[in-house]
Amino acid sequence: MKLRQVSDLSDFSRGHWLRELLCRGEELSRVQSSPDGQHLLLLQKSRPPTLPRVVAFQRHSIAGADLERSWQPPQPALVGLLFLQSPVAPGSWVLAVVWEHGRTEVWHFVVAVGWQLLQTLELCQGARARVVSVCSQGASLVWCEERPPLGAHSDMSKCAFRFCVCARALEVGEQGVRLGAVRIVLHNSPEYQVLASPQHVFLVPVAAGFATTSKFLLIWHPEKAEFTITAPSAGFIHSKVLRSSSESDFRKLLLGSVGLLSGFAPLDIHTSAVSNSGGLLLVSTKGSVSMVEPDGTQRHIFDLEGGPLAQGSPVQLKTFGSIVACVLAGVLYLVDQNSGRLVEKEVLSMKEVHFLESQGEEDSIQLLSQTGIYSFSFSKPEDSSRPEPCLVEMVFEEACRYYQRRSLSSSKLTVEKLKKGGAFQAPVVLAAILQHSLQDTYAKLLSTVSLELQSYMSLELLKTCVVCAPESEVESYSRELVEQEVSRILQSDMDKDNLAYLNSVFASFPKAAWKAIRSCLQLQQNGDGLLVARATPEVWKKVLCQPQLEEVGQNGMVPLFELICASFLRFKPKWLPSFVELTQQYISSSWSYSSKEGPEGRVPLYKRALGVLARKNKHSEADDEMELELLLCSKRPKAVLQALHLLICLKQWQRVVEVAEKFSKLSPLLNKEIFITLLAEFARHRELDPYLDRLWPLCPAELTASDILTVVLQHLPHSQEDPVPFSSEGNQLTVGLLKPLLQRVVQRPSVQDEMYSDALQRIHSLPPPFFAQ
């Protein structure tokens, strides 16, 4: 990319004078071109013997009257040269020359006639008002004016808020020019520089403004009647809709945010300009170039070389398509505003240069100097299928910074050393992938991370809303914020920091966290009233993740599964056993039973849930019932037997029998353990007598009559008196109660009997050996 001269200024009217003025660049305070690029306006400073003046030059030596306006100090100075679209003809425009005391001259250029003054208007309503900044937004003029206090000895703190931001429609028609009614955008405000994009107006505090108000920017959205307060470096964004003119007071606008804003550092702004995409470009005194978007978010673009910028050192900024052009100390920087990549750096031979409008050419930059107009083209190559070289180069640059921070050597690591050294293979491999393995890599990477970036941006905006929201809206904002945070954590690695963060979220916002986990796991009841979950396997793994013992218990930190169980106990206790059962079903389908690699390899889930139940401050009967449900839902033999003993202690005999009937079917071993337990209870007391017809069918096939009598005799209650054949008490075990079970066992063929009968049948089918001889 090289500079190419497209004009030597001879095609301008009075070209020799234009060249002479440009050679004395220190006398120029502003150079501005018309939207069609055919006119140049130069604002000349006051230097004896000349007066301050604005002069217009026409390109292609168009004939007609010239435009030249000058003024004699202390007359009001010129504050704005604005080009406004004219509805008279497509593509036509008018020039508004705005003076400090509010007088506005509207000029129009007619071919072969020259510059004509259409009308002179009074922008401000008050005679004492003074315009300090002005811009054009659509068909309106927006300006900041000073309204001096009436009293000579007014309070100095109130004097700082003596400015007002106003807007007024400027209608240009065939009948002339007409100003609309004054609209007060913001009153009782500090001094602001107003900069307009097609849809928004940025209010940038001046350097000499009030200390507190220099810590944030204001963004006005005319169509929504909304103001956005943003402190970009601190990540603070708050929007407020102005429903009435009374709310346009500056102090009311900041009400509710003053406490936060007072703790922020002042804005670091050296130069500001509006980009063609509608954002606000800022250059800090440290040389950092950033973009503030209309929604108040800020992103860093590039760092200029040369260290801190002096207050008087000029920096020129302009965007051409996606390229940010910046001129500093005779060096032209071209930076891709999307990736922050330095596209080109050119040392200019000209002393003073000015950016011009490139009508219809977004892939080229036009520069004005004392020797002519130069074009700088940066068109993209035709082969766009391969990854952009800048993306590959960024890999090595980032790798250099990464390895340099961790290096013990004092020698500087460069991209060339990184490519040739061979010690660090990661950036080389990644660069090779970007260059050869993927097609349209840059677009694919952007599409991959775009959703993550959008999620991150919405999360940051929501956090700001929570901080600034009125008390009535805090709960809804908090609920949405917690849901996004929980969802984000469940999609990332469940390390110690993320787990500690989740613990704090569940502790600070228990109800919102409960709703968030229900949403993430998609928990709901189906038509049969059963709990179902539609969470992905990745989410289940995060839920079941059990950190190392040394990572748990510090500062009360507990695993995520325990956090969820505690939420169930607090907000939906009836669902907890079903949730544990659902989780076990997922484990059984993902890991082999009792696998040490799975979650069940350490502590069974029902025991983890019981541990949460045991940590409750107050114990109730409902907790006993919950313990029973958790033990039974696990369907583990030890847990079922534990539940059975608990029911026996509670003397809930109906449920004892129901549990025995249900879980005896799971396995023969568990059936035997359950039956022997109940047979022992039958021997001790008469509480199970009403259920004997349901208990005896549970008797395992391998138990014999002698086995049953042994169990009964071992568990008979010990009496203090000598036993008598006929007791007056009705709680003793009798043979009559035991007879149905013994008959059932005796009449049932044993395994050995079946073996003997089979052998006898085989013997009878063959002749005796003696007779066979």
Res 554: pLDDT: 54
187 - beta bridge partners? Answer: 249
pLDDT in tens, 163-209: 899 998 888 877 778 888 888 888 888 889 999 988 889 999 886 55
pLDDT in tens, 526-549: 877 788 888 888 888 888 876 654
pTM of the predicted protein model: 0.56
For residue 262, is pLDDT > 50?
yes
Res 378: pLDDT: 64
pLDDT in tens, 413-464: 777 777 666 566 676 666 666 555 555 555 666 676 777 777 777 777 777 7
Q: Residue 362 has what DSSP assignment? A: T
Among the residue ranges 76-85, 270-279, 348-357, 410-419, the one predicted with the least confidence is 410-419
- Per-residue tokens: 96: 């508004």
d(CA 466, CA 468): 6
For residue 11, is pLDDT > 60?
yes
Give the contacts of 154 (CB within 8 A, at least 6 positions apart). Answer: none
Helix (H, G, I), strand (E, B) or coil at 512: helix
pLDDT-derived band at 769, boundaries 50, 70, 90: very low
For residue 551, is pLDDT > 60?
no
Q: Which of 80-94, 353-367, 659-673, 748-762 has the highest mean pLDDT?
A: 659-673
What b/e readout covers 643-663, taking b as 16+ CB neighbours within 10 angstroms?
bbebbbeeeebebbbebbeeb
Report which of residues 16 and 714 the model is more confident about.
714
Res 434: pLDDT: 59
pLDDT in tens, 481-530: 888 888 888 887 788 888 888 898 898 888 889 998 988 888 888 877 78
Res 615: pLDDT: 83
d(CA 194, CA 132): 9
What would the mean pLDDT of 671-689 be, rounded to a whole number?
88
Q: Are 344 and 1 in contact (CB under 8 A)?
A: yes
Res 641: pLDDT: 92
What would the mean pLDDT of 9-30 be, rounded to a whole number?
65
Res 439: pLDDT: 52
pLDDT-derived band at 599, boundaries 50, 70, 90: low
Res 144: pLDDT: 92
- DSSP assignment of 638-669, as one string? HHHHHHHHHHHHTT-HHHHHHHHHHHTTT-HH
Res 724: pLDDT: 55
What would the mean pLDDT of 308-318 be, rounded to a whole number?
80
Res 595: pLDDT: 47
For the purposes of burial, counting CB atoms within 10 Å of the CB of 34, is it exposed (0-12), middle (13-18) or buried (19 or more)? buried
Among the residue ranges 247-251, 327-331, 447-451, 581-585, the one predicted with the least confidence is 447-451
What would the mean pLDDT of 625-634 be, rounded to a whole number?
88
How far CA 553 is from CA of 492, 499, 510, in Å, comes to: 22, 12, 19
Q: Report the mean per-residue pLDDT for the chain.
A: 77
Identity of the amino acid at 86: S
> Where does 491-593 have alpha helices with state H?
496-508, 510-521, 537-544, 560-571, 576-590
Instruction: Read off φ and ψ for residue 211, nearest 5 degrees.
Output: -60, -45
pLDDT-derived band at 773, boundaries 50, 70, 90: very low
What would the mean pLDDT of 709-730 be, rounded to a whole number?
68
For the purposes of burial, counting CB atoms within 10 Å of the CB of 387, is it exposed (0-12), middle (13-18) or buried (19 or more)? buried
For residue 765, is pLDDT > 50?
no
What would the mean pLDDT of 552-577 be, rounded to a whole number?
83
pLDDT in tens, 381-399: 444 444 455 556 677 777 7
What would the mean pLDDT of 355-382 be, rounded to a whole number?
69
Cα angle vertex 57, ends 54, 63, to 5°? Answer: 130
pLDDT in tens, 120-145: 888 888 778 889 999 988 788 999 99
The percentage of residues in the chain with a pLDDT greater than 90, rounded to a whole number, is 5
